[in-house]
Amino acid sequence: MSTVQFDVFSGGSVTIDHDICTGCTTKACIPACQAPSLGSVLIAGPDGLPALSVTPEQAKKGACIECLACDLACRSRGAGGLTFRLPMPELDAILAGQSWPS
């Protein structure tokens, strides 16, 4: 089964595992991304699984607005097939027990 993967402008990345999506009854990430004023870069592909409506290059240049709506939808109503990684060094430092950077 395939994987959808694209980078985003801030340096993060999105990975969607179709092995997991196949068993997802809601496909909640798709309408979440299609909400007004959001990126609308996730659509249903021919197989009904999430696909990109733009090229990966366009997504990286800002077509994906990094709103995290897809991530929230997948976590709350989906099957957990979407992983959104964002570089957050300040948060990593806090979680590691370090002080807030000045």
Instruction: Kindly list the residues in this chain that would bind ligand SF4 in the complex (CB under 6 A).
Output: 16, 20-21, 24, 26-29, 32-33, 38-39, 41-42, 50, 64-70, 73-74, 78-82
Q: How far apart are CB 21 and ligand SF4 at their closest, in Å?
A: 3
Report which DSSP code applies to 1: -
Q: Is the separation of the CB atoms in 6 and 13 below 8 Å? A: yes
- Residue whose CB is less far from ligand SF4, 80 or 94: 80
Q: What is the DSSP string of 20-53?
A: HHTT-SS-THHHHHTSTTS---EEE-TTSSEEES
Nearer of residues 13 and 67 to ligand SF4, judged by Cβ: 67
